[in-house]
Amino acid sequence: MSISMMKFLNQTLCLSLVLSISMTTLSFAQTCSKYKFSSNNVFASCNDLPFLDSFLHYTYDSSTGTLHIAYRHTKLTSGKWVAWAVNPTSTGMVGAQAIVAFPQSDGTVRVYTSPIRSYQTSLQEGDLSFNVSGLSATYENNEMVVLASLSLSQALGNGGTINTVWQDGSMSGNSPLPHPTSGNNVRSVSTLNVVSGVSAAAGGAGGNSKLRKRNIHGILNGVSWGIMMPVGAIIARYLKVAKSANPAWFYIHVFCQASAYIIGVAGWATGLKLGGDSPGIQYSTHRSIGIALFSLATVQVFAMFLRPKPEHKHRLYWNIYHHSIGYTLIILGVVNVFKGLDILSPKKQWKNAYTGIIVALAIVAVLLEAFTWYVVIKRRKLEESTKSAPHGAASNGARSQYA
């Protein structure tokens, strides 16, 4: 029975992980080239922007250095503002020269220019560092279309490259509120060569590097705190019931949790580095839970060196402490992985896959819990019947030092 229990554990864990990770969905994006403007405007080039359901149509007049643009933001719900900007000095938000538009309560659309000087901007109206003409905007069928002509002869970089930013956010009456500081709202940055039409998402190599670090941070923490910690707890909880698994279950449990701790610390460190590289962007809850995870896990690791022997009078209290901290770590780890997924806003299948893994592990734990109680109760009945049998003074055996 103990061997079959070990096989059942291994097979169900592997099957649940494979099934969960294989959950994928297909998505198809619009293409700007097929769009026709109601005003019969025609542009030489267009780009499907990678985030926020946005598109940029443009024509560059090299003789005058003027860029004629139409910025489209689709799937826009009421009570939202949109903005598109050129940043002549850097690839981020600060320094961006923005065009802001939003539908007003009276049904009209307000469109104006706004220079962004800090992360705490309220998008106040003001002149840009270059001239803007022909500014107008329309809002129909949940789509905002902004038209403008920009004199960029002084703002163009080498070979006709500009840094662009686009955003959306909520409104309070007719006043724009700060945009979200997570997910696609912190990814909506690109470079655009107005001569060749080449666009590079996330500000080229530097932006791609930061996005890569964010993904590495998410993977390290998702695997360690979010998967390996629960799996290690399942191993300790249910494998030790099988007598043939003793003491192997203990070493497997220690290896799994120690590996999770090392990987988790690496993920925690990348999170601190990302926070230091992103001034003005804070995720207080996610950060606080991360610090709590690191602190509790570190205490748990050092507490292993103070573990009393099974027969020690204080071993019961140590077990209560060890289990309480362990289950707290698992709960906080899973919660923080979901917090991180909300911040990263990856494709939906990634969140679905992790949700599937957690649900599968929970189902496995419930099944093994029932099976464990069945084994324990049957074993106790067998021991009681052996004790009550005539001339049958059977020994219960020595208790394992790893229990």
Annotated binding-site residue numbers:
217, 253, 286, 322
Rounded CA separation 240/249 (Å): 6
DSSP 127: -
Rounded CA separation 173/177 (Å): 10
Q: Which residues are annotated as a binding site for heme b?
A: 217, 253, 286, 322
Rounded CA separation 198/215 (Å): 25
DSSP 329-392: HHHHHHHHHHHHHHHH---HHHHHHHHHHHHHHHHHHHHHHHHHHHHHHHHHHHHHHHHHSTT-
Distances (CA, A) of 232 to 162, 281, 306, 327: 50, 34, 20, 11
Q: Pairing between strand 45-48 and 54-61?
A: antiparallel
Rounded CA separation 136/37 (Å): 14
Distances (CA, A) of 126 to 153, 329, 347: 20, 50, 37
Distances (CA, A) of 242 to 1, 103, 214, 394: 8, 67, 41, 20
Hunting for tokens 């293409």 — which residue is that? Answer: 31
E-only strand ranges, 187-252: 189-193, 199-201
Asked whether 181 and 344 are in contact (CB, 8 A), the reply is no
